Structure 1
Amino acid sequence: MAAPNTFLVPVLLLLLCGLGPYPAAARSHPGVECVLFNEEYMNCTWGNKEMPTVNYSLFYWYKNTSDKEVECKHYLQNQGVRVGCHFKQNELIQFQPFHVLINASVGGKTLEIPSKRMELQDLVKPEAPVNLTIHNMSNNQLQLTWASPYPKDKCLEHAVKYKSNKDTSWTELSVNGDVFSLPSVDYEKSYTFYVRSKINNYCGRTQFWSEWSVPVIWGSNSTSKGTKEQLYWFGIRTVLVPIASCLLLVVLVILLVRMERVWVILMPRIPNPSKNFDELFITHNGNFQEWTGVPKDVVESFKPNYSESICYVTELPQKDSHEPLWDSSNHAPPPMPGPPATHSEHSPHQNSYGTV
């Protein structure tokens, strides 16, 4: 029975201590996670699973460089509580053991998270690749190229995933270098490509992949030339169409404001003269004199101020004629009432007329 127990002791020690120094160095304390972004800056955060209720302080040092602890200079806060520390590029040293100590004082007691040994080259997360370009090769072959913002491109390995518009799942392949070739494509399909990067085993043991790049599309309606055309039409739809719509709306508003004037120009109104005489019949009751404003003395001057008497006219017979002017069988004309008219002496050959 002693032999099996003796065999289990080393196995348990291996499980507790890990398989070697490097995996243990790559892991940080469960409450602390440090990520070195593109070797430009690093963030160490804690309380990712549970929001801390007190402000912790972080101290760090590099073994074999200086044993002096240095407190974090730039804390990250969330709702006024410290949740991390930001390190600038001049504060970072790779290939040196890196230690952190996080503690807090609560009610006279000190809460402490012990330091753990880390290697910064194992914590690098590069930026996503950029400038993805597709080249048409011979024999229905495509070649995909890209560039990486990471300063040490020889330390990178890449992964490419793609699928056509007829596929339901993605195909992901590992690539060394910045060129990927797809040997056979169907010109009746369109293909979408993504690329991401990670530090290779020659420069570190990180497990942090970059984010996926912006996709590039190739297909029956989208070659590398077609991609530019898509971007062109995308710009037209997102920029020119809204601007044109706004201008049209402004023109319509102006036309609505000036619609009455435009309508008068296109369809002139027929004049209605009755409105001009409303004052004559309503205000002056049809009195034209008052309406026109003619003075009363002017109106009186046009009235007649004299009287005219009746004038009687008699026709005298000719001189050599003995016949009366009327028939003898008839009676003489009755005399007209009124005073006799005064006759003036005339020649016997002339008629007598009265003057007015």
Structure 2
Amino acid sequence: MDSPLSPSSARKEAGMVLTLILLLSGPSQRAMAAQRQQGVECIVFNDQYLTCMWGSKEMPTANYSLYYWYFPPGVENHMPVECKHYLQEEGINTGCWFNHSEIIQFRTFYIHINASHEGRSLVIPTKAMKLQDLVKPAPPVNLTIQNISNNQLQLTWDSMYNKPRCLEYAVRYKSNKDTRWTEHLASGKIFSFPSVDYEKYYTFYVKSKINQYCGTTQLWSEWSVPVFWGNNATDTGMAEKQPPWFWIHVVLPTASLMLILVLVILLIRMERVWVIFMPRIPNPSKNFDELFNTHQGNFPEWAGVSKDVVESFKPNYSESFCYVSELPPKEGSSPLWGGHDKPRAPPGRSSVPASSSSPGLILSKKSYVGV
């Protein structure tokens, strides 16, 4: 018969058993704590697709599976159906994506998410929701500002949501002199500003959400692309506030155009300088084509000289020449003239009349002389 345990031994054995229970239950308790922290968040984006995320706050430790169904049952989706398009991160399922044909509004939408981890079943509690209350519209587009009076502006925009009557809007604006944004609600796609300052530079944004007639939600769309109005000349810091699209679509093309214009001007000026330092030799052939081709080399006709002037330069007289020859002197005879003696006629030749005053010259029939 076994002897009973002493009190001290019994306390030691109870402590060991308790420690073993804590060690064995530790992983399951941590898994249950993680399960309690996890939840699911579903959003219908612009009535185009639906996403349900359960790994948005904490990364799950197992691959969960999602099943969904609608109530009351209909012709379609009346039985639980597993997600067809899982969203994963690092190989772990973190969400489910539903296409447009899988979205049915104004019926209760149920989802059930579970997983198996280390031989235990992990469950994210079943959740029921109304999809018409989970719609997040797309941001408004085509923001336009018009002057409807001297100090009044009108802001208009368009919506990409297929049911524009189900939307309400919020307008946010601020000038370059303001420190806080001002917001106003608008029921339609138009908003008027009663008073503006032409010396200020305004920035406008618009967002939208489903109104109370089509759903109960607080899911606003993202803010639209901003639109600007006003005088920006006196604001030195506004260049830093311009959105990136302003620099890409406005500043960069303008700067490129100015650079090309400057290069063209410099090229033209360099061409003029080159012509000054290295003048081109003119080609006279083109200037004399008419002289040789049309006027056949007739320079007076080509130059436009009248016929009277040309005729005046032609000689209108004629003259005859008298040729003079000299016979060689005979031997022993004295020259025909020498020193200051008058010339004597050679034998057999008629002498020049005594009245001639130029020695050694024979006059012609006229007053012209020849040597």
TM range (shorter): 0.5 to 0.7
CA-based RMSD of the aligned residues comes to 2.9
* Secondary structure in structure 2 of the residue aligned to 1:52: coil
Change (3 A) 1:48 1:135: same
Give the equivalent residue in structure 2 for 1:189. Answer: 200
Aligned match for 2:251, one of 210, 230, 237: 237
**Structure 1 length-normalised TM:** 0.56
Give the equivalent residue in structure 2 for 1:51. Answer: 59
Give the equivalent residue in structure 2 for 1:200. Answer: 211
Which residues of structure 2 form unaligned runs of 5+?
A: 1-36, 234-244, 264-277, 279-371
Give the equivalent residue in structure 2 for 1:142. Answer: 153
Give the C-alpha shift of residue 239 in structure 1. 3.8
> Which amino acid letter does the alignment assign opposite residue 50 of structure 1?
E
CA distance in 2, matches of 1:139, 1:239: 33
> Which amino acid letter does the alignment assign opposite residue 119 of structure 2?
G
Give the C-alpha shift of residue 241 in structure 1. 4.0
**Alignment of structure 1 residues 161-240 onto 2, 5 Å:** 161-221=172-232, 235=249, 237-239=251-253
> Which amino acid letter does the alignment assign opposite residue 158 of structure 2?
A
Answering whether residue 74 of structure 2 is matched by residue 60 of structure 1, we say no
Percent identity between matched residues is 60
Answering whether residue 46 of structure 2 is matched by residue 35 of structure 1, we say no
Aligned match for 1:122, one of 109, 133, 143: 133
Change (3 A) 1:162 1:236: closer
Give the equivalent residue in structure 2 for 1:157. Answer: 168
Change (3 A) 1:244 1:174: closer
> Which amino acid letter does the alignment assign opposite residue 155 of structure 1?
C
Equivalent pairs counted in the alignment come to 216
CA distance in 2, matches of 1:41, 1:242: 42
Change (3 A) 1:51 1:244: farther
CA distance in 2, matches of 1:120, 1:232: 38
**Structure 2 length-normalised TM:** 0.54
CA distance in 1, matches of 2:215, 2:64: 30
Give the C-alpha shift of residue 32 in structure 1. 0.1
Give the equivalent residue in structure 2 for 1:111. Answer: 122
Aligned match for 1:70, one of 62, 81, 85: 81
CA distance in 2, matches of 1:232, 1:67: 51
Change (3 A) 1:71 1:232: closer
CA distance in 1, matches of 2:78, 2:168: 35
1:169-216 Cα distance to aligned partner (Å, 9 max, x none):
000111110110000111111111100000001000011100000111
Change (3 A) 1:236 1:47: closer
> Which amino acid letter does the alignment assign opposite residue 143 of structure 1?
Q
**Alignment of structure 1 residues 270-309 onto 2, 5 Å:** none
Give the C-alpha shift of residue 245 in structure 1. 7.3
CA distance in 2, matches of 1:181, 1:220: 19
Answering whether residue 95 of structure 2 is matched by residue 84 of structure 1, we say yes
CA distance in 2, matches of 1:167, 1:241: 31
> Which amino acid letter does the alignment assign opposite residue 163 of structure 2?
K
> Which amino acid letter does the alignment assign opposite residue 60 of structure 1?
Y
Give the C-alpha shift of residue 73 in structure 1. 0.1
CA distance in 1, matches of 2:248, 2:157: 23
CA contact (8 A) 2:38 2:55 kept: no
Give the C-alpha shift of residue 68 in structure 1. 1.2
CA distance in 2, matches of 1:157, 1:30: 32
Give the C-alpha shift of residue 108 in structure 1. 2.3
CA distance in 2, matches of 1:236, 1:128: 23
Give the C-alpha shift of residue 240 in structure 1. 6.0
> Which amino acid letter does the alignment assign opposite residue 59 of structure 2?
M
